[in-house]
Amino acid sequence: MSITEVEPKPFVREARLEDFEAIVDVAEDAFLQDPLINYFGSATQLHEHGTEGSKMVRDNMAWMYRSCISVGGRTTVAVIPATTNEDGSQTKEQIAAIAMWLPPNQRISVLGALTTWGSGLFQIVRNWGWSGIKRMVFEYFEGAHALMEKGFKDRNLGTTPDATWYLQLIGTHSSHQGKGLMSLLMREAYAHAPDAMFTLESTTTKSRDRYQHLGYEVLTPLTLGVGSANALGLAATGEEAVGTEIYCMVNRNPQQKM
């Protein structure tokens, strides 16, 4: 007789201090080949696990998490509970997906990004060089913020992007894809701040479509790296250098997707 093992139901909780390495593990895996990260680092090929490129991605994810903490952000994790097997052995609790949220009026500013040396920015500069920092801070941070503001004004949303809950990062480990964990994290955030608006930038069409399913609408796209990068964010020239596109998005009524 065969025994069918049922994976325990995942749940969401706020991150703890001891979760740091597990959170960075998930973020590194989820964003290993992300076009925006590729563009910041002037990558010439897609990163693979265990390479120098994956270490650079990990350094960036660690900096992002520390920066989120430094401005009072809220990090939540989707957890696969520990279980006890029939033979008495136990499996450990696993952090399978993560979300980093910045509360209203708490943002990583351009000046703040340039002064977060203690959060690991020094290592990012070593990895990317100042050209990568310029791409991240001036092209992405400032460019996306300006388009967000324009989108809010054009739609008469009655507030500003800074007054929303901003999703700095969300990701699921590749070994736990397809389990609805991103939706679980998103709906927990909606319940945490039911009267708020939520904003984010999507870096792929796949994630954009998933966010739309969760109630987000595209305000406007932002294309980075025209003339120097392809659609995957990899260094390119000529006709391939079309740039990589991100999508500024807002959920103005999360209650509809609770």
Residue pLDDT, tens place only, 5-29: 567 899 999 999 999 999 999 999 9
According to the model, what pLDDT value does residue 1 have?
A: 38
- What phi, psi does 248 have (nearest 5°)? -80, 125
Distance, CA of 59 to CA of 186 (rounded, Å): 25
How much of the chain, in percent, has pLDDT values that exceed 70? 92
**DSSP element (H, E) containing 223:** strand 217-224
Instruction: Give the global pTM.
Output: 0.91
Q: Residues 187, 193, 195, 197: is their CA dihedral positive or negative?
A: negative
With a CB cutoff of 8 Å and minimum separation 6, the contacts of 39 are: 135, 224, 225, 229, 233, 244
Q: Residues 179, 180, 185, 188: is their CA dihedral positive or negative?
A: negative
Report whether pLDDT(46) > 80. Answer: yes
Task: Please give the C-alpha separations between residue 238 and each of 24, 46, 228, in angstroms, as whole numbers.
Answer: 36, 19, 8
Please list the residues that pair with 220 across neighbouring strands. 248
SS3 state of residue 80: strand
Q: What is the mean pLDDT of residues 93-119?
A: 79
Polymer length of the chain: 258
Task: Please give the C-alpha separations between residue 97 and each of 29, 46, 230, in angstroms, as whole numbers.
Answer: 10, 22, 28
Q: What is the mean pLDDT of residues 92-111?
A: 88
According to the model, what pLDDT value does residue 116 have?
A: 56
Report whether pLDDT(115) > 50. Answer: yes
Report whether pLDDT(114) > 60. Answer: no
According to the model, what pLDDT value does residue 253 have?
A: 87
According to the model, what pLDDT value does residue 108 have?
A: 77
Distance, CA of 9 to CA of 194 (rounded, Å): 24
| Vertex 153: Cα angle to 148 and 158 (nearest 5) | 105
CB atoms within 10 A of CB 231: 17
**What is the Cα 105 distance to its own chain's centre?**
19
Q: Where are the beta strands (DSSP E) in 16-162?
A: 74-80, 83-84, 90-91, 94-102
Q: Residues 41, 43, 47, 50: is their CA dihedral positive or negative?
A: negative
Number of H helices and E strands in the chain, helices first, is: 8, 9
Give tens-digit pLDDT for 155-193.
999 999 999 999 999 999 999 999 999 999 999 999 999
Most confident of 14-28, 59-73, 131-145: 14-28
According to the model, what pLDDT value does residue 160 have?
A: 96
Kindly indicate the confidence band of residue 205, based on its pLDDT and cuts at 50, 70 and 90: very high
Q: What is the mean pLDDT of residues 36-43?
A: 96
SS3 state of residue 142: helix
Q: What is the mean pLDDT of residues 189-213?
A: 96
